Amino acid sequence: MIFTLLTIFIGLISAYIAYKSVTVLWKSSWFAGFCRGIFGLALFAAAALVALTAYDVYSYKQVLQEQVVATINFDKIEDQHYFAVLSDKDGKEQRVELRGDQWQLDARIVKWQGYLASFGLKPAFRLERLSGRYYDIEQETTAKRTAYTVHNSLYGVDVWRIFHSNPQWVPVVDAVYGSATYLPMKDGALFEISLSNTGLVARPINQVAREAVAEFF
């Protein structure tokens, strides 16, 4: 809910800036008009930047309790080479090829600190990266690696990265990475990924996946 409200608020700011830029550009007269035109175009650019910021904020989802955020299943192509189908909680699917013996899913997590935490605001997340890894250390350093971005920020407008790189700017926002533990890939294996206040947890949910995990550990 908080991210939806933030998106609406930022969107309203963007719309207001766009409106002001139109009113500036609409007025005429030569030199003053030229200056107003430059200023109006700058306002348009600012409105676009604010709109992209709103979109980036909206891409994060709140964690109201521990919840399943994605499932992943595997189809073997050949040894150490799999098709992986990642489905998020909204039903969006991504089909990619992963190489290696294990897989890992990373997420971006936003936690609230200080007085914001006292209001009971919940963390938010966005799935970040899906990658493969080899058991063998030599293969891990020399063989072909695979990793895919699950969600991109539009045109480089990335609010989370700003907070992550400059935590001192907004101390009440803690932007961190969360990762599910590396688990084995196996033909027909199906896993679910849950997110809680502490991070990502991956669990096998069919017999093939449970056997793969038992063999691995």
Neighbours of 197 (CB within 10 A): 11
pLDDT score for 214: 92
Q: Name the one residue in this structure whose structure tokens are 């990642």.
A: 86
Res. 179 pLDDT band, cuts 50 70 90: confident
Confidence (pTM):
0.73
Give the tokens for residue 167.
């935590």
Res. 76 pLDDT band, cuts 50 70 90: very high
pLDDT tens column, 15-52: 777 676 666 666 555 445 666 667 767 777 777 777 77
Per-residue b/e over 34-63, b at no fewer than 16 CB within 10 Å?
eebeeebeebbebbeebbbbbbbbebbbeb
pLDDT tens column, 83-141: 999 999 888 999 999 999 999 999 998 887 877 666 767 788 899 999 999 999 999 99
pLDDT score for 125: 86
Give the residue from 190, 169, 10 showing the smallest Cα distance to 2: 10
**What does the alpha-carbon distance between residue 77 and residue 63 come to, in Å, rounded to a whole number?**
35
Neighbours of 97 (CB within 10 A): 12
